[in-house]
Structure 1
Amino acid sequence: MAWEEPVARAFRLDAAGWARHANPWSGWTRMAVLPLLALAGWSRVWIGGWAALPLALLVVFLWLNPRLFPPPRHLDAWISRGVLGEQRWLDRDRVPVPPQHRRLPHLLAALAGAGAIGLVYGVVMLEPWPTLLGLVVAYLGKLWFIDRMVWLQQDMGGERR
C-alpha cells in the first residue's frame, strides 16, 4: 500500500471524490490555502487565541474541498491532468508506473515536506524569512510534483476516472 493511501481515504477520495477533485477550482483553491494557513498562524500576534478559528476553518475547507466542486466537463486543464496522474500514482502498487516516474515524485514530496517544516518553524517562531522560504520551497515541491503527475498521466494513457 502506498503511504499516501491513508491520506486519500481521510479526504474520502474514492472514484467520485477524485473526479470532483479534478475540477480546476478544487485544485487551485486547495493550493491557495497554504499561505492562508501561515497567515492564520501569524494572526495569533494580533488576535491571540482567536487565531484558532481561521486555522480550524481552513482545515475544514481542506477536508471538504475535494467534494465541493462538480466533476469538470473537460479534463484538459493542467491541474486536472495532475490530479488524475496523482490518482494513478496512488495506485502504483496495483498498476506499476513507468520506470521514469518511480523516483522523482518521492523526492519532490520530500522537498515539499521540507518546505512545510520550514514554514511551520517560521510560523511558530514568528520568523518571516523561514516562513517565506518554507512557503516557496513547499510550493516548488508541490507544483513540480503536480507537473510530474501530468507527465505520468500522459505516459499512462491519458484520461481516467
Structure 2
Amino acid sequence: MTFERKISKLYKLDEQAWMRHASPWSVWTRNTVLPILIAAFWSREWLGYGAAVPVAIAVLWAAVNPHIFKRPASLDNWASKCVLGERIWLNRDSVPVPARHARLPHVLSAAAGVGAALVIVGVFRLDLWMTLLGAAFVYAGKLWFLDRMVWLYEDMKGHEAYRELGKAPSGTR
C-alpha cells in the first residue's frame, strides 16, 4: 500500500469524496491550510494554551475540506485533473505509472517535506524568514507535484484501469 493511499484512508476518501475533492474549490481552498496552521501555532505567543483552539480549527479544516464541496460539473480543468492524477499516483503499486513519472513526484514531495521541516522550526523559533522560506518550499513542491499529476492523468486516462475515472455515474452529475 502506498503512503498516499494510507493518507487517503486517513481522510476517508472514498469514490464520492474523491469526486468532491476534485472540485477546484476544494483544491484551491486546501492551499489555505498551511497559513492557517502557521498562524494558529504562532498564536501561542498571544493566546498561550488557548492557541489549541485555532490549531484544532486548522486541523478540522484540513480534514473536512475534501468532503464539503460538490462534485464539479466538469473535470476538464487543471485543479480537477490534479486530483484525478493523485488517484492514479496512489494506485501505482497496482497499476504502474510510466517511467518518466516515477521519480520526480518523490523529489517534489521531499522538497515539500524539507519546507515543512523549515516551517516547523521557524514557527517554533518564531523566525518569520525561516517560516516563509519553508512555506515557499512547501508550496513550490506541492504545486509542481500537482502539475505533474495533471501530466500523469493525461498520460494514463486511456489505460483500461482509468477509462471510467472522472466520469459521472449514469444518471448522475
* TM-score normalised by length of structure 1: 0.96
Q: Secondary structure in 1 aligned to 2:3?
A: coil
C-alpha distance after superposition, 1:110-150 (max 9, x if no partner) = 11111001001100111111100000000000000000000
The structure where helix makes up a greater share of residues is 1
Residue 112 (structure 2) pairs with residue 80 (structure 1): no
Report what 1:122 is aligned to: 122
Unaligned runs of 5+ in 1: none
Report what 2:171 is aligned to: none
State the one-letter code of the partner of 1:46: W
Q: CA deviation at 1:157?
A: 2.0
Report what 1:67 is aligned to: 67
How far apart are the structure 2 equivalents of 1:77 and 1:62? 22
How far apart are the structure 1 equivalents of 2:77 and 2:54? 30
User: Which protein shows a greater Rg?
Assistant: 2
Report what 2:50 is aligned to: 50
Residue 156 (structure 2) pairs with residue 156 (structure 1): yes
How far apart are the structure 1 equivalents of 2:157 and 2:68? 27
Report what 1:138 is aligned to: 138
State the one-letter code of the partner of 1:34: L
* TM-score normalised by length of structure 2: 0.90
1:18-37 correspondence runs (5 A): 18-37=18-37
How far apart are the structure 2 equivalents of 1:13 and 1:87? 10
Report what 2:3 is aligned to: 3
State the one-letter code of the partner of 1:33: V
Q: CA deviation at 1:152?
A: 0.3
Q: Secondary structure in 2 aligned to 1:4?
A: helix
Q: CA deviation at 1:92?
A: 0.6
Q: CA deviation at 1:77?
A: 2.1
Report what 2:98 is aligned to: 98
How far apart are the structure 2 equivalents of 1:69 and 1:39? 24
C-alpha distance after superposition, 1:26-66 (max 9, x if no partner) = 11111111111111111111222111101101101111111
